[in-house]
Structure 1
Amino acid sequence: MTTNQQPPAFSTIQYTRTRTVSVAPDVMRERRLVMGLKGDPHIGVFRLLRSNILMQLREKNWTSIAVVAATPECGKTFVTANLGIALAMEVNQTVLIVDADLGNPQIGWYFGLDVQKGLLDYLQTDVPVEELLVNPGFDRLVVLPGRHTTSKSSELISLPKMTALVDELKTRYQSRIVLFDLPPLLSSDDALLFMPHFDAALLVVEDGKTSPDEVRRSLALLEQTNLVGTVLNKARGAALPHYQRAVSS
């Protein structure tokens, strides 16, 4: 693979090697891909999140974000999927979503993909990464899904092959933003092992479930990481996440 190639300078990209599987509208409604539903009243929430994140990425010349949560089921994959679509709608860049949660890959489910091969297959076999990429029907958006789970995620995520893949995905296109959906911070050491390879992190917490102590512990673990913000998900009295920019002290 070559590096630093520019994507086509037009809004619609014709994919030749990447498989395209469009998400059906009923799947988007069922799995809350709100950014794909025209006229959904909650689209503005993710547009606001996109604007705040893009401002920081462009100011710092960052291209990669790890999306993490304190504990399981906080909605980090839901946020990753919708944020990825929102970023791809901004025509100045392409977006790649990587399902790096090897213990519980869910990105493919959100996009309604019948995943035959995923990231784990790349790490354990010689399958080319190009065979894993899927365009889910949104312009400028590509997904590298996961397929099945493993109990050896820490060992696999530490492989030189994984490190080389992340570096390649981050540098292949100058105008690409890469979102990595990582395992929860407090459930394993997978995310921490990999955090140095990302430019920044976005922390997802769940209202009424993530305790103040879990938030403090998560922020402490991310102390050496550039934090672009936090998302309060499942907020009481609201249907979708609210965004709060991180404030440095």
Structure 2
Amino acid sequence: MEKLQAALENARKARDSATTAVRKKPRVAAVAAATSTAGRALPDEDLWAALTPFDVSDKHLNEYRVVTREAGPSAAPFDILRTKVLLQMRQNGWKRLAITSPMPNSGKTTTSCNLALGLGRQRDLRAILMDLDLRDPSIHSFFETEPPHGIGDLLTGQVDFSAQALRIGDNVACCMARKSESDPTRLLLAEETVDVIDHIEATYKPDIMIFDLPSVLVNDDTRAFLKNVDCALIVVRANTTRYNQFDACEREISEHTNVLGTVLNAYMNTNTISEQE
């Protein structure tokens, strides 16, 4: 365990100077206005209130280790992560966060869901969580809810965000998948997908958009999408993730976007959340 922690620290220091020059330029989002049938602009509050709400039992959330809907000792590590993420993203003017891992079963979706619900407790914030692990989507299982339309229908423009997304609480919108997609890389590379996400951001004006992406080293889906985010959070699992896997994952991500930090999951000391300076 100590070897993995030391390796993470050494790798971070070694990349400080090497990756500074490849920081991603700010994105320019498409300008879009949401309008009612009468043609007048709708206030943001009305758009969010119009999203179909859903709920999930605390028992089910606990079974999936989603513990941040209410404040408490179990939520504290994720609350620390939430605060660090928000402060650093605000400092850099970033709004889009990818969450990924070197290999599967590291806890990236658990982290994504906990971060989203933790943000939901901040009443002055709005967050959007999108399941883009299109080969093996699982957020719908975490929340025990199936959307009326597939996320592929949203990304290809067949349905609007208002028809596909569901709202948990007042200020967290979730775009969940119904099933796996047959050709996810095509969707994640498509300019149409970029336009759809730009339109969602411009219309609903979230403070943060969280994209749960596939593990980096298992296919090319995450590489295809990283250009569309401002930064990425890497989740590694103690005693499972190998250093060479983490190193390869971080190098891949830093070629396309900013590495916000690393979460060491499944370690007894739950305060070991490290971040890039």
How does the TM-score come out when normalised to structure 2?
Answer: 0.79
Partner SS state of residue 221, structure 1: helix
Match of 1:200 in 2: 231
Partner SS state of residue 131, structure 1: helix
Gaps of 5+ in 2: 1-31, 35-40
**Does residue 1:176 correspond to 2:176, yes or no?**
no
Return the letter of the residue paired with 1:72.
P
Distance in 2 between the 1:109 and 1:88 partners? 19
Q: Contact 1:74–1:206 at 8 Å: present in 2 too?
A: yes
Deviation by residue 1:172-207 (Cα, 9 ceiling, x = unmatched): 344521000111100111111111110111111111
Residue 125 of structure 1 deviates from its aligned partner by 7.0
Match of 2:175 in 1: 144
**Does residue 1:246 correspond to 2:244, yes or no?**
no
Distance in 1 between the 2:240 and 2:261 partners? 19
Partner SS state of residue 143, structure 1: strand
Match of 2:68 in 1: 35
**Does residue 1:86 correspond to 2:118, yes or no?**
yes
Distance in 1 between the 2:204 and 2:156 partners? 26
Residue 171 of structure 1 deviates from its aligned partner by 2.9
Distance in 1 between the 2:204 and 2:191 partners? 21
- Summarize the Cα distance change of 1:134–1:241 in structure 2 as closer, same or farther, 3 Å threshold: farther
- Summarize the Cα distance change of 1:27–1:174 in structure 2 as closer, same or farther, 3 Å threshold: same
Q: Contact 2:108–2:212 at 8 Å: present in 1 too?
A: yes
Map 1:217-232 → 2, pairs under 5 A: 217-224=248-255, 225-232=257-264
Distance in 1 between the 2:204 and 2:160 partners? 18
Partner SS state of residue 52, structure 1: helix
Deviation by residue 1:78-99 (Cα, 9 ceiling, x = unmatched): 0000001112222332000011
Distance in 2 between the 1:63 and 1:15 partners? 18
Distance in 2 between the 1:6 and 1:227 partners? 34
Map 1:1-249 → 2, pairs under 5 A: 2=33, 7-8=44-45, 15-37=48-70, 39=72, 41-123=73-155, 126-136=158-168, 138-224=169-255, 225-235=257-267, 237=268, 242-247=272-277
Match of 2:13 in 1: none
Match of 2:17 in 1: none
Partner SS state of residue 172, structure 1: helix
Residue 214 of structure 1 deviates from its aligned partner by 0.2
How does the TM-score come out when normalised to structure 1?
Answer: 0.87
Aligned residue pairs total: 239
Greater fraction helix? 2
- Summarize the Cα distance change of 1:182–1:241 in structure 2 as closer, same or farther, 3 Å threshold: farther
Deviation by residue 1:147-194 (Cα, 9 ceiling, x = unmatched): 111241111211222111122233334452100011110011111111
Q: Contact 1:7–1:175 at 8 Å: present in 2 too?
A: no
Residue identity (%)? 25
Q: Contact 1:19–1:134 at 8 Å: present in 2 too?
A: yes
Mark the structure with the bigger radius of gyration: 2
RMSD: 2.3
Distance in 2 between the 1:174 and 1:16 partners? 14
Larger deviation, residues 167-176 vs 220-229: 167-176
Return the letter of the residue paired with 2:121.
M
